[in-house]
Structure 1
């Protein structure tokens, strides 16, 4: 069963704090939690953290036949699952509404935005292409799992390497990593998701990267997926609270700054990991 809603004193305390631009964890209303990225030995495995929110993402690749309507493109599928250990909200074997929402948003942000060049996944036109499968496991829910899952997903793609392939006549030879160095994916851009939570009282300003309690007490949320080049991939608003156009534009500017910071952070962590592996950056 779902836990009871926050108590009335708890709700009043949080609302009163938000009216004074205070948050329970000490952040400013437009401060995000510092993200963390940890890489495993296998390429394409990433653990991402936003505070106590934890997500693991990993990418797998296999050779398959492309669909007849897109013979020159590889295939990308995205799957997410929220473990019952993440929160008492979630039950095993029963997809929650949030799980479905995260999967759909990741599909829009990472696949439909053409972040990964699908044509580069083609090996033999109409015969052999790479099928990439991104799986996102949500391990702990301390609020804003979507942003954390999106960051983990794009970094997993960036971190992944596919085997070197050689085509000789009709024969397709897949070389092991010991024979030839794996090849990074062709990535056009790196989209990041930035979420704001809104509250019923106009005196309560929107908060960036809401905690679990703020998320439960909010009357609406807006998630903006964009890259460091200011290109918006997805803008989704949930909830009935009205937002003026000027406010939306202001929040987009804030999201751009966040995306640029995340882009620099991701590149730095990837370089550190590749340096520790002594892999030549191709």
Structure 2
């Protein structure tokens, strides 16, 4: 089975020694993220996130289906992850790695189970027709920090997405095109984001947003998911080394500041994209047709 090229013993010792001397190889502080870039596609619901050299693209799609028998008043929301072989030699189509399983599990708990999306708003006709929303997460480049980048991509894509409007007449539902009626934003209840802490030296050293080399030498990781109001959605720990309660509280405090910064950044990018679309988008085209 293909796998990631393992870091050499010399590299491992060099990174660990540098961390003991309070130094990261890329010069960042221990609690600093790599440069974050967020761009949106021409169609609604496509978010391209670059976190350092890591790149993740999330795409939201929608279709009309029957609801689940036990959730007649709720729409369906599904998150699907896809690891491209060009992102890493360890990724192979049809054979999920541990990293892919963990990523899918974390995103499921962080976004879907925390009720970030109001699924009741996706109901068209109770028990008959609902919107089925699907978030496809594509890993394009892998250099560490996949969970944080993927969570940003999915939440940004959900906030950017617009679903088509519908007209309901009895048990008949007509889905309107974009030209017939302006599409509707999704009802987002809160915006959970993930912050991953890698720990070393039996929990004495914690790093935010470790790159791939730093991930390969860590003893374990803690993933904290919360929104900008400080509400914790989940805390997940992977790795054998123990972590004391005070360190965990410190991680929570750091995570809250990072989540606030990322939430503000996402909102700024959404507003910039909205202004760009208004300048020469559908509304401008329709107003021009009306003028003629």
**TM-score band, normalised by shorter chain:** over 0.9
SS of aligned partner of 2:99: helix
Task: Give 1:88-127 correspondences, 5 Å limit.
Answer: 88-127=89-128
**How far apart in 2 are the matches of 1:25 and 1:5?**
20
Deviation at residue 2 of structure 1 after TM alignment:
2.0
**How far apart in 1 are the matches of 2:102 and 2:172?**
42
Give the ranges of 4+ consecutive aligned residues of structure 1 lying more than 6 Å apart after TM superposition: none
SS of aligned partner of 1:86: coil
**How far apart in 2 are the matches of 1:124 and 1:243?**
49
Aligned to 1:21: 22
Aligned to 1:54: 55
**How far apart in 1 are the matches of 2:69 and 2:91?**
39
Aligned to 2:86: 85
Q: How many pairs align? A: 279
Deviation at residue 34 of structure 1 after TM alignment:
2.3
What residue ranges of structure 1 are gaps of 5+ in the alignment? Answer: none
Deviation at residue 90 of structure 1 after TM alignment:
1.5
What residue ranges of structure 2 are gaps of 5+ in the alignment? Answer: 284-292
SS of aligned partner of 1:114: coil
Deviation at residue 169 of structure 1 after TM alignment:
2.2
Deviation at residue 58 of structure 1 after TM alignment:
0.4
Task: Give 1:106-255 correspondences, 5 Å limit.
Answer: 106-200=107-201, 205-255=205-255
Answer whether contact 2:202 2:241 (CA < 8 A) is retained. Answer: no
- CA separation of 1:158 and 1:17: change in aligned 2, threshold 3 A: same
- Which stretch of the first structure deviates more once superposed, 33-42 or 89-98? 89-98
Deviation at residue 170 of structure 1 after TM alignment:
2.4
**How far apart in 2 are the matches of 1:107 and 1:277?**
31
**How far apart in 1 are the matches of 2:86 and 2:273?**
29
Is 1:73 the counterpart of 2:69? The answer is no
Question: What's the CA shift string for 1:174-203, capped at 9, x where partnerless?
Answer: 11001100000000000000000011356x
Question: What's the CA shift string for 1:143-172, capped at 9, x where partnerless?
Answer: 010110010011111110000111122221
Question: What's the CA shift string for 1:48-77, capped at 9, x where partnerless?
Answer: 011000000000000111112111000001
TM-score (norm 1): 0.96
**How far apart in 1 are the matches of 2:92 and 2:173?**
44
Deviation at residue 38 of structure 1 after TM alignment:
1.0
**How far apart in 2 are the matches of 1:135 and 1:26?**
34
TM-score (norm 2): 0.93
SS of aligned partner of 1:73: coil
**How far apart in 2 are the matches of 1:275 and 1:12?**
49
SS of aligned partner of 1:206: strand
**How far apart in 1 are the matches of 2:97 and 2:202?**
29
